[in-house]
Amino acid sequence: AKQLEFSILRIRDEETMRSEEELRTAIHRYADMIRKICFIHMKQESDVDDVFQSVFLKYAKQSSFHDDEHEKAWLIRVTINECHDTLTTWFRRKVILSDELESYAPSVTSMHSTMLDAVLHLKPNYRNVIYLYYYEGYKIREIADILQKKENTIHTWLKRAKDDLKIMLGGDDLD
């Protein structure tokens, strides 16, 4: 966060930039959500930090939003895109880094740890839908808008994700 604040101050001179107060407010309001989305994709603290910073630098250059929901949806979409872009770089495809997942994950009970591990093993599209539906509380229609997909696609991904989780966790009590 300190490195991001330094970057904010460094780029603030440009005319189209948001004010420092607007950036601080957005970081305070959305940091936890952005980090969680990054975490389910990146699984390494350094990558999470890089994507987090990129997202808020793009936010700093973004013009105004219609309302808070539009702002939140934009941040989610940009975060997912940044994670995808980072994961598809040449370096990420060719170099295998040690997995820092255990050191970065918050302390959780073994049941939650098992569920988190299962969610992290889902396909990226399924992870996104599970996160947005269960953790952020979005409706299917809203998720479709955010991910720019058809509602039926979101229904299918959600069902397949739940089916995969049932298989991984060995139970029928996930509905």
User: For 148-175, what is each residue's pLDDT tens digit?
Assistant: 999 999 999 999 999 998 888 887 655 5
* Separation CA 63–CA 148 (nearest Å): 20
Report pTM: 0.64
**CA torsion angle for 118, 107, 44, 80 (degrees, to 10)?**
60
Which amino acid, one-letter code, is at 63? S
Question: What is the model's pLDDT at position 112?
Answer: 60
What's the mean per-residue pLDDT of the chain?
80
Question: What is the model's pLDDT at position 94?
Answer: 56
Q: What is the mean pLDDT of residues 3-22?
A: 63
> Would you call 71 helix, strand, or coil by DSSP?
helix
Pick the more confident residue, 66 or 16: 66
Contact 75, 55 (CB under 8 A): yes
Which residues lie closer than 8 Å to 166 by C-beta, 6 or more apart? Answer: 172, 174
Question: What is the model's pLDDT at position 14?
Answer: 47
Q: For residue range 83-136, what is the model confidence (pLDDT) as tens digits? A: 988 888 756 555 555 444 444 444 444 556 677 788 888 898 999 899 889 888
Q: Which residue has the tokens 């957005």?
A: 26
Q: Which residue has the tokens 């994700």?
A: 161
Question: What is the model's pLDDT at position 150?
Answer: 95
Question: What is the model's pLDDT at position 98?
Answer: 47
* DSSP 8-state secondary structure symbol assigned to residue 128: H
